[in-house]
Chain A
Amino acid sequence: MTMTQKILARAAGLPRVEAGQLIEAKLDLVLGNDITAPVAIREFAKTGVARVFDKDKVALVPDHFTPNKDIKAAEQCKILRSFACAQNITNFFDTGEVGVEHALLPERGLVGPGDVVIGADSHTCTYGALGAFSTGVGSTDMAAGMALGTAWFKVPSAMRFVLKNRFTDPWVSGKDVILHIIGLIGVDGALYQSMEYAGDGLNALTVDDRLCIANMAIEAGAKNGIFPVDQATRDFLKEVGRAQYTEFAADADASYTRTIEVDLATLRSTVAFPHLPSNTRLARDSGDVKIDQVVIGSCTNGRLSDMRVAARLLKGRHVAKGVRCIVIPATQKIYLQAMKEGLLEIFINAGAAVSTPTCGPCLGGHMGVLAKGERAMATTNRNFVGRMGHPESEVYLSNPAVAAATAITGRITDANELV
């Protein structure tokens, strides 16, 4: 069995499972945010179930339109707050504590190896970085998960990605691995499947790199992305105080629909052009594309390592005239650490705006919405039509180094051009 299949088999109480089999698996965590949870809470009420299956295994993270952007957003958050209070939910994170959900939950030790996690947010697949099976679902699935503590799954087949060697370009990171892969296989290249990572290249990937890579599995249509557990994972879990977990590894004879090798040494900073994450080019081959706004943040690239990369480039430099640069540390912990390290001072001196944690601009919610005809370079995960604002605006996706370099020059720029 693949790693995913082994986790699902245990959660379903079965000795083995096969691709295509429908199973009912026990859940270790059910997640929702301020967009999806209000619908889930409404549907939960319809089930007639009085209490959630486990008050410690439901996470409510109002991160999208928060701090409340308008009256309607405030009403949505109020639904979460009231439900959390009534159900005595342990893991409800209000403004002041909240961070972007997929950065926050790993940091809180709420997700770990062997866990089965569903979240009413498509980027729930992020936790595969830590050896969990985690996948995005809709609000009704979340409601049923809260009611029953189980969810139905079709056991996925898997594609295997063998990562070799290590990065040789100092500005290349996990984002380039996943953009390269999506560029290769397309936005439905892994439809309904797992993306399982293997190879000696894993040793060179930080946990932040892996979180970024697993985060965008959905952008290839995948059910989940998953990494083997190694010392880097264990060190991370120790740091965040997650003591109990079960490690799974794929069987040596596991079957894969396809194996793709990725040589990390040859990867260069990659940009996804509008309007699909698969529309990739190398940053250095992007031509003279003028940018109006840069966003550095999100569940994909709003972690401390991303802040550090951006600061390294922005230190002693200035955002180009006519460019708005918005930096959003993904959690309060990251924000505080960035402050202690002097990164926020660097951003502000460079002429960037620094925001409290929020998903905000990634989905055109608030804190950096685009006008007609404007272009953004963002470290986020989607560049669909209208994603960040006006339907005639454009979003380009990149790693934080390209984003910071682009903020400085005002056009798509490989960081190597500046350093």
Chain B
Amino acid sequence: MTAQGTVFRYGDNVDTDVIIPARYLTTSDPAELAAHCMEDIDQTFVKRVKKGDMIVADANFGCGSSREHAPIAIQAAGISCVIAKSFARIFYRNAINIGLPILECPEAAAAIQAGHTVSVDFDSGVITDKTTGKTFTAVAFPPFMKELIACGGLVEYVKAKRAGK
């Protein structure tokens, strides 16, 4: 599986309150959430984002509230992949559980700039900055997480586990 898109670039500690402010959490409808994604730190995000685009950020992306509405909003906004120096742990779990591709890669996070075109090969973990021609390799997922991802997320994993019993 591969993805390619234009990069939206953010800094350290992007918290789930700015990814999707709590005032919109009276719904869990993905499209409604996507309409307000990132609005407290980037009011133009929703207007500019196109299907396949990527978010590249620095350390501790997704910190704060456990709201799964955050990765849901990002996914529904059309983002194909989030690349960061590191992820907050609940966001990391949530993204894998719902099938939003995320890649931990400090080198890519340091080098890739806003507006660059980036492609990602999820099987190899290779990230290519098409604008500069540089390539990076993301931290590999542990085997269990690969299994979760291959299943299509946690719900499918639960189904498979129940069927196996």
Contact = CB atoms under 8 A, between A and B. Distances in A.
Interface stretch (B46-54, B62-70, B118-126, B127-135): B62-70
A6 interface: no
A262 interface: no
Given A22-B144, A47-B155, A65-B26, A188 B17 contact: no
Nearest to B94: A138
Interface residues on A, range: 35 or more
A363 B20 CA distance: 12
Contacts, number: 146
Contacts of A36: 66-68
B155 to A, nearest CB: 5
B88 A221 contact: yes
B28 interface: yes
A188 B26 contact: no
B86 A121 contact: no
Interface stretch (A165-173, A205-213, A337-345, A379-387): A379-387
A363 B22 contact: yes
A253 interface: no
B13 interface: yes
Interface string A372-404: 000000000010111100010000000000000
B98 A140 contact: yes
B142 to A, nearest CB: 6
B13 A187 contact: yes
Interface of B: 13, 15, 17-18, 21-23, 25-28, 39-41, 59-60, 63-69, 71-72, 86, 88-90, 93-94, 97-98, 142, 144, 153-155, 157-159, 161-162
Contacts of A391: 21, 39-41
B17 A363 contact: yes
Interface in A330-385: 363-365, 369, 382, 384-385
A223 B66 CA distance: 12
Given A39-B69, A121-B66, A365 B155 contact: no
Contacts of A136: 66, 90
B153 A140 contact: yes
A38 B25 CA distance: 11
B162 to A, nearest CB: 7
